[in-house]
Structure 1
Amino acid sequence: MAQTLAARSQINGHETARPEIKLGDSTSVALPAGSVDMILTSPPYCTRIDYTAATRLELAVLHPLTKIDIPNLSRQMIGSVRVPTEKIEICSDWGETCSKFLRDVQSHPSKASSGYYYRTHLDYFCKMSNSIQNLSRSLKTSGLAVLVVQDSYYKDVYNDLPKMISEICSFHNLKLRRREDFRIQRTMAGLHPYSRGYKRPMSALEAVLCFEKLGG
């Protein structure tokens, strides 16, 4: 891959571009304001899947290059399954859809809903909001941000993540210009045997959300 990128950066011996791959934390470290033309990303879905465990082979390959601390990454990443150490409260910046969903999770009668599951969901949306704020800040005016997200369920409570992300982005000066939906028949969450105990679809809706950075 490195050789291909190097070859494409040269035309007739003249350098046309120099691609760079950098490692960073979008929830806390922002690029210079107004420095980015376009963002294309698929952030972790809110499905309580441990991505550090699911991608352990890839992380093992990347380890000599990035020196990633896996236990620390497991806690820091968006979608962490570990209980946050700091206290987090629902924020109005997250939008009414997200706030209602979190209240429904907290009041759900199933075991640990008001404790572990509520707190890990709070952690997810807190990090997601911080990340979107930093991404928006880094975009140029009229710059584009394309996010691929997927809806899900907590037990029988619908998690309309595309709508929640759209509301968070709206608060951070990102205007939804286009949305394309795709029905996914097989999902990781749908494979869990206990998920069949609730009346809910086994499929999921994957949405491509296209935003434009507004001026001001």
Structure 2
Amino acid sequence: MNETFSNRPEDFLNKGLRAAVGLLPVVGNPLVEFLAFAIGDPAQERRDDFIRGIFEQATQLQVAFDQLRAENLRVNAQFQATFLDAVRLAATSATADRKTILQNAVLNSAIASLDESLRLKLVDVLARMTPAHVRLLQAIASRPGPLEDFVVDDDQSAFEFKHALLTDMYSTFLIRNNQSMIGERTIQEQTASAHVRLTDLGQRFLEFVRAPQTPT
């Protein structure tokens, strides 16, 4: 395999832990074996499964997208950069939904022609967003409306969690309300309560993380 992947995050983790526990005279070796079994091997397996998933999807989609052919991916710098970022993020992701989002981003980075500044911003946001963020963002995209519609919940913990998700999306400018921003020339429609909708960046992000859309 390419040397780019020879030094994985889990490799550095294992090396550091091995060095530390190796100083312990009695439990050192058993603990090293435990770490290799419980952390090193599963982490490598997750990474390999993630890469295999991208390969399988790219192979299936080659009929619809020439950009996913090996000879084109070889010279596609934005695909390669997104791939490396996604592999790094996948190493610390435990859910299948999160990995699917990352795989979609890799494939879409190969298919779409993105401005590099935009791609970097999308990857930066991707590192912070969870599947829960994406689901809420999709709900707002399908039905923009009063902020209350997206946070009301009888369960206090769920209510606060939704507010936390919305705060994250506001801070990354994936969503906005209907208040005009400084310097904005477009007059926003005023309503009795704050309405929330996607920004252009929010729409671009959803396109970045959704399954590639084959031409009809």
Which has the greater radius of gyration? Answer: 2
Q: Give me the TM-score of the superposition, normalised by structure 2.
A: 0.26
Greater helix fraction, Structure 1 or Structure 2: 2
Tell me which protein shows more strand as a share of its residues. Answer: 1
